[in-house]
Amino acid sequence: MKDAWSSDEVRKAEEPLIAAGVPLMARAAYGLAQVVLREVAARRARTRARAGGVDGARLRGSLGSDGLPGTARRRPPRAAGRGDVRGARAVLLVGPGNNGGDTLYAGAHLVQRGLTVTAVLASARAHEAGLARFREVGGQVASLADLRVPAVVEAVRGADVVLDGLVGVGARGALRPPAGGLVRALADARAAAGDQWPYTVAVDIPSGIGVDDGALPGPVLRADRTVTFGALKPGLVLPPAAGVAGAVELVDIGFPATPGAAPRTAGPRHAWGAADPAAGRVLRLEAADVAELWPVPGPGDHKYTRGVVGVVAGTGTYPGAAVLATSGAVLTGAGMVRYLGPESVGTRVLLARPEVVVAGGRVQAWVLGPGVPVLDPDDDGPDDEGQARRIFGALAAVTGVLSEDVTGGRVPAVVDAGALTMLEHRLPAFAVLTPHAGELAELLRGLGHDVDRAAVEARPLHWARTAHQATGATILLKGAVTVVAGPGDVYTQADAPAWTGTAGAGDVLAGILGTLLAGRSAEAVRDETLAARLAAAAVLVHGRAATRASAGGPVAALEIARAVPAVVAEILGR
Ligand SMILES: NC(=O)C1=CN([C@@H]2O[C@H](COP(=O)(O)OP(=O)(O)OC[C@H]3O[C@@H](n4cnc5c(N)ncnc54)[C@H](O)[C@@H]3O)[C@@H](O)[C@H]2O)[C@@H](O)CC1
Ligand SMILES: [K+]
C-alpha cells in the first residue's frame, strides 16, 4: 500500500525530527542529487548509444598517449560515474523557502560532481545556509529580477537538466508572480520544444500543484520525474496533478511508517509505510494488498458459496456490453454468472460464454447498466427492451426498498452507464457507481450541482467525494488515474496503459468488480469501507490485465478480460 501524506501531516512529522537534530534537508538534498546524477548519466549514455554506439572510452582508445592511433589500452566500460556527468549543465529554479533550500544544497552536490550549475533565485529571499553552501563550492547565482523571464527560459533550454525548487508543501494556491510568470513561460516553451527539452526534475512536488487535492490551480512545469521527500503527497497520485509529476521517486528522510507514529531518528527506511487506519487518507493499492483482499476459494467452496453475479447489461442495439461484462465476471472467477436481458442478447452471451446461466435467481452481487441506454423521462428514447425495469428491480433490492423477504437480503451492486440515470433512492456504500467524468457531471447536475465534465476533470477528488456524500454510494471515477471515494479512505489507481481507453473496457471492469463484490458479499454489506477497497482492487487487476493484453500496443476490451486469470494468478503468487 502506498499512502500519501497531507502537507499538515508532513509538517507534523518533521517537527520532532528537526527538534531531535535529524538533518532532514541534508538527507533530502543528497537523495535528490543522487537521482539527478543517475538520470543525467543515463541520458548521456543513451545519447552516445544513439550516436552509433561509439562511447568516449572507445574514442579515447583510438589515440595513444603519444597521439598515434592504436597504442593506448582500451578502457573497460564503467558504471555511471564522475566522468559521465562532468560538464553537464544544470539550472536550478529556486524559491524563497525550504524547497529552494533543498534545491541549493542538491545543486552544491552537483557542482562537486563536475556539473556547471546556475541557480536562478526567483525571489529576493532564498534559504541562506543553502545559498552560502552553493556559492562556497562554486555554483553560479543569478536572480530572476536581473535576468528576466526570456533569458531564464533560454538558459533552461540550453541545459541538460532543470530542477524545479520554487515551492514545495509550504505553498498555497496558484503560483504567484514572479514565479508564476516564469513557470507559465517555461511550460509554454516546453510544450513547443517537444523532445528538445532538458530533463525536468520537480523537487518534492511540481511547484504550483494542489499538494493535498491534486488540483492544477495555475501554471505548472511538467516534470519528467518528481523526487519527493519522506512520504508521497496526495497531489502526486491524484489527477490531474499526477499527470504533471512524471515518475515519482521517494527519498527516505526518516519519517515514521505512519503519520502521527513515533519519529525514527535513526537511519532511513526503504519500504512504503503501512496504511493508517484513520479515515480519509489517500491510498494506492499494490499487488500484495489485492492478494489479501482476493476471495480465494477453499476446498469446501462450491459455486454458490463463491458468489453468484447477476448481470443486467446490453440491448439488441448494444449486445457487446453484455458479452464483455459477463466475460469480465466469469474470467475473474465468479462461482456463477446469471444474465438477465433480452433473449436475443442472452443467445449472444451464451455463444461467447457458455458458462453463463441465462435465467434469474438469487445473486450475491449485481452488475447493472453496461450497454443499457440512459433513461430520459421526457422522451420514450431508444427501446431498452425491459432492461430499465430489471435494473429498477435490482436497485430496489440493493437499497432495501424491497422487503428482504422478497429479495433474500441486500447485496452489493456495480451501477454503470445507463443504470446511473436510474437512481431514485439513497444508496448504501456497497453500491459502487462507476462513472467517467462526463457521467459523473451528469449525475451531479441531477443532484443540483452546477458542474460539467471539465470541472470534474479539474477536481476529480472533490467531485467524487461530493457524489459519495450526495448518494451514499461508493464512487469509482474512471480515468487515466481512477479515483475511488467511499466512506473511508480514498484510493487512486494508475495501473493501466493509455491504450485502455477503448470501447468496452469499462464493461469488463464492471464484470471484474461484480465478481469481487459477490465473492465477499456479506462482508461488503457489513463493512461499509470494504466496497471501496474491492473497487480499487478491481481497477488494479483490470489495469494489469490491460497492460498484459496490450504488450505496448493497442488492446481490445475482450482481450483485457481474457488476460485476467493470468494476472490474478500472478498477484496471488502462483
Ligand atoms: N522543514 C524541513 O526541515 C524540511 C523541508 N523540506 C522541504 O521544504 C519544503 C517546504 O518548505 P517551506 O515550508 O519553507 O515552504 P516552501 O518552500 O514550499 O514554500 C514556501 C514559500 O513559498 C512562498 N509561497 C507560498 N505560496 C506561494 C505561491 N502560491 N506562489 C509563490 N510563492 C508562494 C511563501 O511565501 C514561502 O516563502 C518541502 O516541500 C521540502 O522541499 C525538506 O527539506 C525536508 C525537510
Ligand atoms: K518544487
Distance CA 86, CA 509 (A): 49
DSSP assignment, residue 257?
S
**Is 328's pLDDT higher than 50?**
yes
Helices assigned H by DSSP within 128-214:
128-136, 144-147, 149-157, 179-193
Which residue(s) pair with 140 in the sheet?
Answer: 118
**pLDDT at residue 83 above 60?**
no
**Contact between residue 178 and residue 135 where contact means Cβ atoms under 8 Å apart:** no
Q: Is 460 helix (H, G, I), strand (E, B) or coil?
A: helix
What is the rounded distance in angstroms from the CA atom of residue 325 to the CA atom of residue 337?
10
Average pLDDT over residues 138-161: 97
What's the pLDDT tens digit per position in 349-382?
Answer: 999 999 999 999 999 999 999 999 988 777 766 6
So what CATH class is 287-571?
Answer: alpha beta
**299 DSSP 8-state letter:** T
Distance 100 CA to ligand 1 centre (A): 7
The answer for residues whose C-beta is within 8 angstroms of residue 15's C-beta and 6 or more apart is none
232 in contact with ligand 1, CB cutoff 6 A:
no
Distance (Å, whole) CA 183 – CA 160: 18
Which position has the higher pLDDT, 280 or 436?
436
Q: What is the mean pLDDT of residues 241-264?
A: 88
Q: Which CATH architecture has domain 2-48+85-257?
A: 3-Layer(aba) Sandwich (3.40)
CB of 172 shorter than 6 A to ligand 1: yes
Is the shortest distance between the CB of 560 and ligand 1 below 6 Å?
no
Quick one: average pLDDT of 255-264?
A: 77
Residues 109 and 35: beta-carbon distance below 8 Å:
no
Query: Which contiguous run of DSSP H or E holds residue 482?
Result: strand 482-485
pTM: 0.87
Determine if residue 168 is labeled as part of a ligand binding site. yes
Calpha distance 212→221 (Å, rounded): 18
Residue span(s) of the chain under CATH 3.40.1190.20 come to 287-571
What percent of the chain has a predicted confidence (pLDDT) above 90? Answer: 83
In terms of phi and psi (left: phi > 0; alpha: psi -120 to 50; beta: otherwise), the region of 446 is: alpha
Of 99, 249, 252, best ligand 1 pocket probe by most atoms within 8 Å of the beta carbon: 99
Most distant pair of Cα atoms in the chain: their distance? 97
Given this model, what pLDDT does residue 408 score?
A: 67
Angle CA(296)–CA(302)–CA(308) in degrees, nearest 5?
80
Is 378 assigned a ligand-binding role in the annotation? Answer: no
Cβ-Cβ contacts under 8 Å for 249 (sequence gap 6 or more): 35, 225, 226, 227, 228
Report the pLDDT value the prediction gives residue 397, as an integer from 0 to 100: 87
Q: Assess whether the C-beta atom of 209 lies below 6 angstroms from ligand 1.
A: no
23-32, 336-345, 391-400: lowest mean pLDDT where?
391-400
Return the pLDDT at 53.
Answer: 58
pLDDT tens-place string over residues 205-235: 999 999 999 999 999 999 999 999 999 999 9
Q: Does residue 171 have its Cβ closer than 6 Å to ligand 1?
A: yes
Res. 553 pLDDT band, cuts 50 70 90: very high
**244, pLDDT greater than 50:** yes
Consecutive H or E run containing 531: helix 530-550
pLDDT (0 to 100) of residue 74: 43
Ligand closest to CA 124 = 1
Residues of the chain with CATH 3.40.50.10260: 2-48+85-257
